[in-house]
Amino acid sequence: MARVNHKLVKQRLNEQRSKISDRQFFSSRLLAGHFEDLAAAQTRRYRYNRRVRVNLYWKPREKHVASTDNMLIRINAGNSMVTKVKGRENRYQIVCGMFAHELGHVLYTDFLAAQTHTNYLGSYRWYPYPPDLKTTADARNEKAFWNYVKTDPKNLEMVQMVSHYISNVIEDGYIENRMLNNFPGTLGYGLEKLREQHFEHIETVTQLIENEDEGKHIFESILQIMLSYVKFGEIKYGDEPLSDERIQSVFGLITDIDSALMSKSGKDRLNVVNMVLVRCWDYIESFCEECKKRQEEAEASGGSTSLAETLSEVLGAIAGGSEMGEGNSTPVPEASGETEESATADKRAQTHADAENEDDSQTDSETEENPSGSGESDNSSDEDAIPLNGRNSGSGKEETSDNEQGRIPYHQSESLSEPVGGSVEKNEDYEREHYDRAAADIERLLDKMAEKAACEQLENERIQELNDVAQNISYGNIHEGVPIRINRIASVDEELIEQYNAIAGPLINISRQLQKSLQKQLKENRRGGKLTGLIMGRRLDVHALCRNDGKVFYKNNLPNEIPELAVGLLLDESGSMCSCDRCTYARASAIILYDFCQSLDIPVMVYGHSTDYTDVGNTVALYSYAEFDGFDHDDKYRMMDIAARGSNRDGAALRFVAEQLSKRPEAVKILILVSDGQPADSGYSGSAAEEDLRGIKQEYQRKGILFVAAAIGDDKQNIERIYGDSFMDISDLKQLPTKLTAVVKRHIRV
């Protein structure tokens, strides 16, 4: 089999591991694959079959942090939000939190409903239904809203963007609450670390007011306060009294916001967006006019910033906010057993108490024309209050693994149990369990990255060595002046791995079936024992004297190992192999033979050959798919690159592979050729080329190599003429894997 040189890989691994920078680690495809696998494992409860793709990159000067289009999650690990955190482990937690947040949008955000909401505004209608106008101020604001929107297309564009951002703020709180409740392990822990950082950088109301003196708009302050409550359940008041109009604007909405955050219907959250647009319309209108003024001033000074870009820049500066997600799908189906509790219940309860206390202290002189709706909380009754229960923590965090863990199999059930006597109580003594395996997880990923880098370095060195060997072989006069080039994939990409995993199952099953017929015999020969029922022999079996057929002798068999055997497979990759699925069967046969030999500890080498046209003319191109001594375990994936290519200069390719095989120490060496035609290259065809092949065969047969030429095309008679007794006729391509494996089986029977 392709044995892995662990000692050399370990040596290079230690060298590479110390050289891995944060930029390499956080922008690596390996880390992105880690998050993709994590998402796949965690989201199976929803039968979410579409694999979430992750793109990690490192651009410190780019303002983009993280976003999703419902198909791909993009994370800028070079953003200051990550780099200002000290320590690779802590940075990993922040990136993991970003991934968890965007995964929450993928799973729980109703993108279609959000698109419909924007489209309805464009046609001057509310979606999903008009807001509840409780006061004359609300009615006046709604009328002013539609008058403003219909006046100018620019006004409509701004209002659509503002409403989309408000929706994103509320959606952020909703999806983070669900992620914290439903994924308390690695994802939840990373999200909590990100939230801690976000909350730390949120300014107090006092600081927000100070910023307004420097050009910030009051609506930006209201949005910041709203975001603080939506995500964290609390508001940083600073030195400001609760009667401040910014605080009161949010207090007047918290009951509706809480209801939307606990609802799994995206329409309920969009209805709250409509309510915010109406209740805060005076602020929003002033904000939109300010943005129009900024954009016009920028245009007058020669700038090219659009109105949308101006709005996006202003709204994107709000601390703790995220980029507005885009997509075209509905949320995943609801899973049974998911909690519907608030992850920030205690803090929300305190904010509710602040709002109620402030309501009690307000005088009757407050009028219903207050645009912030600060007096509306008096209209809600205790029956309408949202239950704010403590979060159910579970029994502990599960350790992250790079392998699939055991799962409860699906089974048919008749009914569900109906427990009685349950109660809801708050655990005052609960302290959050920290996930203390985060450092070990990162160490494992770093080891994988270092191992991948070490193997890639070793493979690059091997490619150079193979090309050096190829240049030092004497190919004969007929190949003089023809360049030889060895091609090998140094680092296997994800696409090849996915392609292999998609088709490997049935092929590996064929390999296992072919091995079964040998397993018993090989086991007996390795173990040794008594062979009974012999007609002749030196030892009489007293237990068989009663037999009438004379088979009363036995002998002792000594333990035997499999005869030392090495296999080389050379595949024709000429252009004609694309016909009749010849290349497809050749690829499948290589995968089956490779697995068969590996399972039986038989060293195996797989090569393909064709020609490339270069500046110096046709070049013999050899493709190394599997080598006798491997540095990684990826040769099986490399064979997915087998394909029909150019011409075929068989002699040079055959000599190179035969030379490599002849160096092996095994007693039996088998070289299997799979071809669909005669040699055909510029200056290399006809009887002269055939004579070259016969000479190579005879030369290496004298060196102990057994040739098997499997003919799968229309030139079978010609191939038989070339290889003589080594010829194997494959009339049915479906029999190719079985017949090639049978060649190996014949030489390992003892």
Instruction: Tell me the pLDDT tens digit for each residue of 213-254.
Output: 888 899 999 999 999 999 999 999 999 999 999 999 999 998
Confidence class of residue 671 from pLDDT cuts 50, 70 and 90? very high
The reply to whether 60 falls in a domain is: yes
546 and 511 together in one domain? no
Shared domain for 45 and 184, answered yes or no, is: no
- Sorting pLDDT into bands at 50, 70 and 90, what band is 205? very high
Structure-block tokens of residue 36: 């993709």
Residue type, 85: V
What long-range pairs does 684-691 form, CB within 8 A, spacing at least 24? Answer: 684/478, 684/479, 684/649, 684/651, 688/478, 689/478, 689/650, 689/651, 690/718, 690/721, 690/722
Instruction: Answer yes or no: is 250 within a domain.
Output: yes
Identify whether residues 601 and 518 lie together within a single domain: yes
The mean pLDDT value of the chain amounts to 81
* Alpha-helical segments (H) within 245-387: 245-251, 254-262, 266-279, 281-300, 307-316, 345-361
Q: Mean pLDDT, to the nearest integer, of 413-435?
A: 62
The mean-pLDDT minimum among 280-294, 564-578, 611-625 falls in 611-625
Lowest-confidence segment of 58-62, 338-342, 497-501 by average pLDDT: 338-342
pLDDT over 50 at 395, yes or no: no
**472 and 534 share one domain:** no
Average pLDDT over residues 635-648: 90
Burial of 351 (0-12, 13-18, 19+ CB in 10 A): buried
pLDDT exceeding 70 applies to what percent of the chain?
81
- At 656, the pLDDT band (50, 70, 90 cuts) reads very high
Q: What is the mean pLDDT of residues 45-71?
A: 83
pLDDT digits (tens, 9 = 90+) for 691-726: 888 899 999 999 999 998 888 877 788 888 888 888
Q: Are both 71 and 219 inside the same structural domain?
A: no
pLDDT value of position 475 = 85
What Å distances lie between residue 398 and 36, 99, 307, 395, 747, CA to CA? 18, 19, 48, 9, 50
Q: Residue 403: its pLDDT value, please? A: 56
Residue 271 neighbours by CB under 8 Å, 6+ apart: 128, 129, 131, 260
- pLDDT score recorded for residue 139: 92
Same-domain pairing of 572 and 711: yes
pLDDT above 70 for 367 = no
Phi, psi (rounded to 5 degrees) for 200: -60, -35
Q: Please tell me the predicted confidence (pLDDT) of residue 545.
A: 80
Question: Could you give the number of structural domains in the chain?
Answer: 4
Same domain, 556 and 611: no
Task: Give the mean pLDDT of 555-572.
Answer: 77
Residue 110 pLDDT class (50, 70, 90 cuts): confident
Q: Are residues 182 and 249 in the same domain?
A: yes
Does residue 199 fall inside a structural domain? Answer: yes
Domain harbouring 33, CATH code = 3.30.2010
Q: 12 in a domain, yes or no? A: no
Q: Which residue has the higher pLDDT, 605 or 3?
A: 605
Where does a domain end: 90, 108, 126?
Answer: 108
Of residues 13, 570, 470, 654, the one with CA closest to residue 4? 13
What is the Cα Rg of the chain in Å? 36
Give percent of the chain above pLDDT 90: 25
Dist CA 281 CA 138 (whole Å): 9
pLDDT digits (tens, 9 = 90+) for 437-490: 767 777 777 777 777 777 788 888 889 999 999 888 888 888 887 889 999 998
In a domain, 712, yes or no: yes
686's tokens: 């006809």
pLDDT digits (tens, 9 = 90+) for 506-535: 899 888 888 876 766 666 666 656 778 888
H helices, E strands: number in the chain:
25, 15
Same structural domain for residues 163 and 240?
yes
Asked if the peptide bond before residue 128 counts as cis, ω within 30 degrees of 0, the response is yes
Q: Is residue 175 part of a domain?
A: yes
The pLDDT score that the predictor gives to residue 322 is: 65
- Range 359-374 average pLDDT: 50
What pLDDT is recorded for position 278? Answer: 93
What pLDDT sits at residue 602? Answer: 86
pLDDT band for 76, please (50, 70, 90 cuts): very high
Q: Burial level of 349, CB count in 10 A (0-12/13-18/19+)?
A: middle
Q: Which residue among 55, 86, 108 closes a domain?
A: 108
Q: Which long-range contacts (CB under 8 A, 24 or more apart) does 436-440 make?
A: 437/397, 437/399, 437/400, 438/89, 438/92, 438/93, 438/186, 438/189, 439/89
* Pair type for strands 553-557 and 539-540: antiparallel
State the CATH number of the domain containing residue 710: 3.40.50.410
- Extract the runs of DSSP E, i.e. beta strands, from 574-616: 604-614
Q: Can you tell me the mean pLDDT for 617-639?
A: 87
Q: Are residues 568 and 557 in the same domain?
A: no
DSSP labels, 435-465: -TTHHHHHHHHHHHHHHHHHHHHHHHHHHHH
Based on the domain organization, do 317 and 220 belong to the same domain? yes
Answer whether residue 144 is part of any domain: yes
- Give yes or no: residues 367 and 273 share one domain: yes
Phi, psi of 674 (to 5 degrees): -120, 120
Q: Is 702 domain-assigned?
A: yes
Domain that holds residue 188: 109-330+341-376
Beta bridge partners of 727: 709
Q: What is the pLDDT of residue 399?
A: 55
Q: Which residues of 205-227 are buried (b: 16+ CB within 10 A; e: fewer)?
A: beebbeeeeeebbbbbbbbbbbb
Q: What is the pLDDT of residue 418?
A: 60
Give the pLDDT score at 225.
92
Indicate the SS3 state at residue 393.
coil
pLDDT at position 687, please? 86
Query: pLDDT tier at 323 (50, 70, 90 boundaries)?
Result: low
